[in-house]
Structure 1
Amino acid sequence: MAMLLEDILKSVELWLKLIKKTHPALRGPQSRSVPGIAGSVLNAVDEESGAEERVWVRILGADYMFRTKLWSRFDPSTGKTVSLDPNTRIVVPEGRYGLEAIDALDPDMVIGQECVYYFHDMIVELTKWGFQEGTTLFGFGYDFRQSNRLQETLHRLAAKLEAVYNASGGKKITIITHSMGGLLVKCFMCLHSDVFEKYVNKWIAIAAPFQGAPGYVTSTFLNGMSFVDGWEQNFFISKWSMHQLLIECPSIYELMACLDFQWEHPPLLEMWRGRPDGDERSQIMLESYPLVESVQIFKEALANNTVNYNVEDIPLPFNMEILKWANETRKIISRAKLPPQVKFYNIYGMNLETPHSVCYGNEETPVTDLQQLRYFQPTYVCVDGDGTVPVESAKADGLDAVARVGVPGEHRGILCERHVFRILKHWLKVDHDPYYNPVNDYVILPTAFEMERHRENGREVTSVKEEWEIISECQDADEKPVVSSVSVSDAGAEACATLTVHPRNEGKQHVELNARSVSVDA
C-alpha cells in the first residue's frame, strides 16, 4: 500500500481510537479498595471497659460523640494525632474483610442512604462481575485524621496485602484508591517499595489530589468543612466541630497545594482588607497572598482559636509542627517511583467548577481583623475539576501511567458513575473488550475491510474500503450524515479519502471510509 494512503488510514484509525494493544484476560484478580479523607467508618474503644461504639460516621448524637471522642492533638514526637480523651482509642472496623468500613458509612441509616454511601455502588458492581468478598474483594479503611505516612497505618496496609496475597495462592492484587487514598498508597509505594512490588499488580487511582486541593484546603483551615447540606446538617457534624478536628489533622495539611508544582495559575488567598490610613478612614485594597505567604494569614487568623474540653480551654492555632511534618510527607510523595512490573491508571473528575483561589470580604465589607476571617463567607476563583480536586492536580501523578481518563463527575459521586464502572471493567479485564475506548466511553467494532490493487496507465492504484460500528450509551439522534474528505500528495504519488459518519440509531453509529492512492513505480 502506498505510504500516503497508509498515513491517511492511520490518522482515521487514531481518530477512532482503534490502534491499541490487546492483552490476554487475567483470571482471579484480587481487588482492594482504599478510601479518601473521612471515607472510613471509625469506632471509639473505651480502654477501661473495652466497649466499642461508632463515632464516624453516625447521624444520631453525631456532634456530641465527635467532640468527645474524635477531637485530637498532634504529637510531633510520633507524628500521630491522639484523641483528647485519654481513655479513647480509635479503631477501624474490620468486618466483611475490611469492606464494612468503606461501604455505607452509616450502615444503620435507613432513610436517605445515598448521603452516606461511599464505595457501596462499586462493591455491588464488582460483585456482579464475579468478585467475592473475602476471596477476591477486600477493603482497607484507616484513621483519616492521621498522616498518610504514619508507619502504623502503612504497616497495617503491608500486612493486609500480604494476607490477601497468601490467601489467594500468590495472585497479585489490584488496588483501587479514591481521593486521599491515592496519597496514602503513593507514600506506601515510596517507603515500602519492595512490599508494593511483591504484592501489587495494578493500581487504579480515582480523583486523587496528587498536587493538593488548594481552594478546598484553604477554606477548610479558615471556615471548616461540611459533608452534607440542607436539613441533614441538623443531624450531622457541625461545620465548627469539624473545623476544630481538622486543624490538628496532618492529613489536611498534606492536602495543601504543593509548593514546587508548576501551576498554570498559582492558587492564591485573597482578601479585601480595610487598613487605617491615618485620617480615621480605612483604605480598602484587594491583597493577594501566594502559597508561602498564606501560611502567615492562617497563623494570625487562628492565633486565638480554642476549644473547651472538659471545662478546659485548649488552644488550637494553625499548627506549624504539623505543617513541617506535612512538608516532609509531600517530599516523600514526590520521590515515589512506580515499580516496572506494576501498571498504574488514573481516573480524574472534570467539568465542575472547582475552588482554586479563595477570596474573603469585598469592597463594602472588607476584612479589618484577621481573627474575624473565619466568620466571612469565602468566594472562589474556580478551575476545571470534580468540585474538590482540580484536574491539573489529579492528572499530575508523576508516574508512568498506562492511561489517564477524565470523567465528568463530582468528587465522591464519581465512585457511582457508570462510565467509571465500564472503565474499571475494561482495566480489570472482566469481559475484556479490546475495542472499548475508556476516554470516549464507546466500543468501536470493525465490520468490513476490503483492499484492491491494480495497475492503470503505468501507475499503481490502491483502493481501500473500511467500515466500523460505534456503540455507545448515548441515545441522541443525529439528523443527517457527516461527510469529510482529505487528500495529500507527494513526489510521484497522491491519495484521497472520504469518511462518512451516518446518523446514530439505537445506540449505534455506522462509519465508512473510502480511500484511493495512485503512485508511480520507483
Structure 2
Amino acid sequence: MPSQILKIVGLVAVTILLTPVLIDNRDPDLGGIKEDFLQKFKDLEFKDNIKEFIQKNRFYCINGKNPAQLNAQEQLEEFKKGPCAPLTIMPGILGTSLQVQIDCEVLQQENPEIFANCGWSTCSSYNIFGKRPETEYRLWVGSIFSKTKLLQLKDSKCFGDLMSLNYDEKTNKLQDNKGVFVTWYGNTPKTKSKSECGANAIRDFTDDPIMKQTTESLNGFHNLIDALEQLGYQSGLSFQALPYDFRQSVAENETKRLIKSAINSLFSLTGKKSVLIAHSLGSLHTLDALTSFEQSFKDQKVKQFIAIGPPFIGAPKSFINIIGGDPSYIQNILGLQVGINFYSQTKFAYSSSSTYDLLPKNTFYEFKDEPWLKELISRIEYEKDPSKFSEAPFKSIFPERENECFDTNKLFFRSDNTCQSGLINLFEQEILNIKNQTFKSNNEDLISILNNFTLDDASKYIKLYNKSLKAEGLNKLKNPGVPTAIIFGGILETTISLNYNENPKDKLSVNKDFYFPESQSFTIGDGTVPTYSAITPAFKWAFEFDNQSPNSKPVKLIEYCSKHASNESFYDNTSKNGEKIYTKNSYHGIPCECQNTKSVEKCNHSCFINDKFVIGTIFEAIQTNEIAKKTKKYTLNEVLSIQSECPVLKD
C-alpha cells in the first residue's frame, strides 16, 4: 500500500510539471493535455496477463498475415477467408466513456444554477476575471484535475449537474439539461479523430494515468480490444464497439437500432454471422434487442450471444443508490469525504432511467405457474438436500450437487468446493427491510418502495419504473432465439438484502447526506450481480430448448473460477460444411486469474471481463470456421470511409 501511494504521488507530481500555464479565462479540461506522458505510461503498463495469449495467437484471424504489410481492404479480405467470426461488444452501466458538450450562452441563460455550480461566470473571452467553460469535457471519467473529476469533495456539484438528466412531465422522458449535450467519447468534434469507430469509448474510461492507478474498474474492455486487434480484427470492419448513453433505460435507448445496424454491417462486410458480446447492463439491452428481431434475421446473421455478468433479473444492491447512497463510491481521506458525493450520487440515480432496469424483477411472480420455474424451485430444494431426489433437476445445464467445481473449500465467499448454483427462491427471500417492514422481489413491493422511501416526487419515479417494464423482451425473459452463453461469477459476497433501521426518506430530508444500511445480507455472485440473477433465465431457455419450444436454441452456463468440465469444448459439433455449432445445453467451468491471489478486485463484476481466461473463452467462441457468404467486395476507399465515418454509430 505505501508503494502504491508513493507511485500515485509521483504521478501527480509529474502531471503537475507537465501541465502548461493557461493564459486565457477558459476552464480547461486538463485530462487532455498530457498525451505524450500518457503514451509513455501505457508503454510501461503493457498488459502482462495477455502477453502470452497475444504472442501465441497473433494474426490468427487473418491467416497469419502481418497487417503491417496489408492495407485495410486486404486485411478485411483475409479476415473473410479466415476462421473467425465478426463480433459486437456492448458495455454495461458506467461502461461507456462519456463526453459533455457545453453551449455556454444557453446553459448560462437556461440553467444558471448549473453554470454557477461549475464555477463559471462568463461566456466572454474578454472577461479575464471570470471563468468560462470549454466547449467539451470528458464527463465519464474526467481527469483528476478536470472540472468533471470523479474524485470530488463533499460540496462539489458540477459533476452531478452535468451527469444528470432532466425529467419532462409532458413526454415522460429524461433528457439533457438545456445547454448540455452528453454523448459517447468519439462522437464530438474534439474527440472524433480518436474514436476508432467507437472502440475508444469502451476501451478505457479515462485517459488519466492517476485515475487508472486507483482502481482496475476503469480499464473497460482494453484487454479484449487489444487482443482482438492482435488477432487481426479491425474496428468498424470485423468488430464493432457499441457505445451508448447508459443513463437511459432499455425501453428508451437507441440500442435496438444500434445492434441491428452493427449486425447488418458486419454481415455485409464479412459474409459471416456475428458473435454478440455484452457485459452487465449491455446484456439486458442485447437480450431485449434480440427478442425484437425476426427469427430469419437471427438465423442468417447471428452466431451466438455471450452475456458476461448479466443482471437479468436485477440486483438488490441497486436499491442502495436510490435509497441512501452507495458507500463504495466514497472514501474518507485525512478527514475529508472524497469520491462521488451524495449530491452527485442522488442526481445520477434519480435522473437515470437505467436505474430501474437494474432493480429486482417480478420474475418468480410472473412465471409462478410455469413448469420451468417449478423445476427450478425443485433444483433449489435439491441443492439443500440431494437425498430427497432420485435425480438432479436441470442436470443438463448445471452439475449435480456432489460434483466438485472448485479446488478449495474456501474460495473468497464460497464455503465449500461442491457445485452449487446460487439459485434463490424469490418467493421466500426478502430483498429490503426498512424499520422491520420487509419487501420482496415483485412489482407491488417495488412500487411501494419508490412511493414511500425516495426523496423527491415519487410519482415521477413510479412512471419511469413502469415505463422500464415496457422492455418486454427483457422483463418477460423471452427466448433470445440464438445460441446463448452466460459467463458468471459465484465466488464473491454479493448483496441479497439491505436493512435500514430508520426511514431513509426522513433521515435524508433532514441531513442531506448519505444514509447507509445498518446491515446487509449476502449470497454468492460477482460482487455486484448475484449468481441467481445472471443464470435464472438460462434455466428457462434451457427448459424451452429441451422441450423443443419454437425457435429456442441451446444455452451454455460458463462459471468463472470453476474447474468442472473445464476441458470440454463449448461447441458440441460441426456442420456439414465444417462450421462449429451448439447442439445441447451444458455447463462449463473456466479458470480465473484471481484464484491464487488475495485480490478480490481482479475477479469482481467490473474487472473479470479483462481476465485472460475470459478472453480465452471469447477466443474459442469466435473460432467458428464459418465459410463466408458471398457479399459485396468493398474497395479500399470504401473501407477507409467506413472506418473513418463509422456509419453504424450514426443516428
TM-score range, shorter chain: 0.5 to 0.7
Partner of 1:212: 314
Is the alpha carbon distance of 1:92 and 1:267 closer, same or farther for their aligned partners in structure 2, counting shifts above 3 Å? farther
Alpha carbons 2:166, 2:351 under 8 Å: kept: yes
Matched, 1:406 2:508: no
**8 Å contact 1:299–1:318 — kept in the other structure?**
no
- 2:341 counterpart residue number: 238
* Distance change in 2, residues 1:359/1:334 (3 Å): same
Higher relative contact order (CA 8 A, sep 6+): 2
* Matched residue, 1:107: 207
The 8 Å contact of residues 96 and 184 in structure 2, kept in 1 or not, is answered as yes
Q: State whether residues 258 and 330 of structure 1, in contact with CA within 8 Å, keep that contact through their aligned partners in structure 2.
A: no
Matching residue of 2:623 = 429
Equivalent position of 2:135 in the other structure: 51
Q: Secondary structure at the match of 1:247?
A: helix
Offset at residue 162 of structure 1 (A) = 2.5
> Of 600, 603, 609, which residue of structure 2 is paired with 1:415?
609
Check 1:229–1:199 CA distance in 2 against 1; reply closer, same or farther (3 A cut). farther
Pairwise CA distance, 1:318: 6.4
Deviation for aligned residue 1:288 = 1.7
Contact 1:244 1:316 in 2 (8 A): no
Matched, 1:382 2:522: yes
Q: Select which of 212, 215, 221 maps to 1:119.
A: 221
Label 1:234 to 1:55 Cα distance change in 2 as closer, same or farther (>3 A). Answer: farther
Aligned: 1:268 with 2:418? no
SS at match of 1:66: helix
2:284 and 2:474 in contact (8 A); partners too? no
Unaligned 5+ segments in structure 2 are: 1-80, 106-133, 187-194, 365-372, 374-423, 509-513, 542-552, 562-602, 627-651
Report the CA distance shift for 1:384/1:134 in structure 2 as closer, same or farther (over 3 A). same
Counterpart-to-counterpart distance in 1, 2:474 and 2:432: 30
**Percent sequence identity over matched residues?**
22
| Structure 2: distance between partners of 1:89 and 1:142 | 14
The answer to whether the Cα contact below 8 Å between 2:206 and 2:212 also exists between their aligned partners in 1 is no
User: Residue 350 of structure 1 is aligned with which of 470, 490, 494?
Assistant: 490
Aligned-pair distance for 1:76? 6.2
Given residue 140 of structure 2, which amino acid in structure 1 is its aligned partner?
A: W
Q: CA deviation at 1:90?
A: 1.6
1:155-304 map, 5 Å: 155-168=257-270, 170-193=271-294, 196-214=298-316, 216-225=317-326, 228=329, 230=331, 236-261=339-364, 263-265=424-426, 266-271=428-433, 273=435, 286-291=436-441, 292-303=444-455
Give the TM-score, by structure 2 length: 0.53
AA of the residue aligned to 1:102? I
Deviation of 1:183 (Å): 0.4
Matched AA of 1:126: L
Please, which of 506, 510, 534 is the counterpart of residue 394 of structure 1? 534
Please give the secondary structure, in 1, of the residue aligned with 2:243: coil
| 1:88 equivalent in structure 2 | 180
8 Å CA contact 1:351–1:385 kept in 2: the answer is yes
Is contact 1:425–1:431 with CA below 8 Å preserved after alignment? no
Q: By percentage of residues, which structure has more strand? A: 1
In structure 1, give the amino acid aligned to 2:137. Answer: E
Native 8 Å contact 2:432 2:439 kept in 1: yes
**Structure 2 match to 1:35:** 91
Seen in structure 2, the aligned counterparts of structure 1 residues 272 and 37 have a Cα distance that, compared at 3 Å, is closer
Q: TM-score, normalised to structure 1's length?
A: 0.65
Amino acid at match of 2:91: P
Question: How big is the shift at 1:189?
Answer: 1.0
1:330/1:236 CA distance change after superposition, 3 Å: farther
Structure exhibiting the larger radius of gyration computed from Cα positions: 1
Alpha-carbon shift at residue 325 of structure 1 (Å): 0.7
Mapped pair 1:372 → 2:537: no
Measured against aligned partners, the alpha-carbon deviations of 1:179-202 in whole angstroms (never above 9, x if no partner) come to: 010000111112234655553222
Match of 1:143 among 215, 234, 245: 245
**Which residue of the partner structure matches residue 413 of structure 2?**
none
| Secondary structure class of the residue paired with 1:38 | coil
The aligned amino acid for 1:300 is: N
Q: 1:11-30 to 2 correspondence within 5 Å?
A: 27-30=83-86
How far 1:48 sits from its partner (Å)? 6.9
Please say if 1:320 is aligned against 2:481.
no
Distance 2:357 2:318 in 1: 9
Residue of structure 1 equivalent to 2:233:
131
CA distance in 2, matches of 1:259, 1:121: 36
Change beyond 3 A, Cα 1:66–1:165: farther
Note the aligned Cα RMSD (angstroms).
Answer: 3.1
Determine helix, strand or coil for the equivalent of 2:469.
helix
Change (3 A) 1:198 1:121: same
Alpha-carbon distance, 1:100 to partner: 0.9
What letter is aligned with 1:429?
Q
- Report the 3-state secondary structure (helix = DSSP H, G, I; strand = E; otherwise coil) of the residue aligned with 1:212: coil
Q: Distance in 2 between the 1:378 and 1:327 partners? A: 30
1:396 partner SS: helix
Note if contact 2:98-2:140 (Cα within 8 Å) is conserved in structure 1: yes
Q: Is the 8 A contact 1:35 1:181 kept in 2?
A: yes
Q: Distance in 2 between matches of 1:45 and 1:159?
A: 26
3-state SS, counterpart of residue 558 of structure 2: strand
Distance 1:196-1:48 versus aligned 2 partners, 3 A rule: farther
How many Å apart are 1:77 and its aligned residue? Answer: 5.9
| Counterpart Cα distance in 1 of 2:326 and 2:535 | 24
Query: By how many angstroms is 1:119 displaced?
Result: 0.7
Q: Letter of the aligned partner of 1:380 in structure 2? A: Q
Q: Which amino acid aligns with 1:183?
A: L
Alpha-carbon distance, 1:115 to partner? 4.4
| Structure-1 separation of matches of 2:606 and 2:255 | 23
Asked if 2 retains the 8 angstrom alpha-carbon contact of 1:56 and 1:66, the reply is no
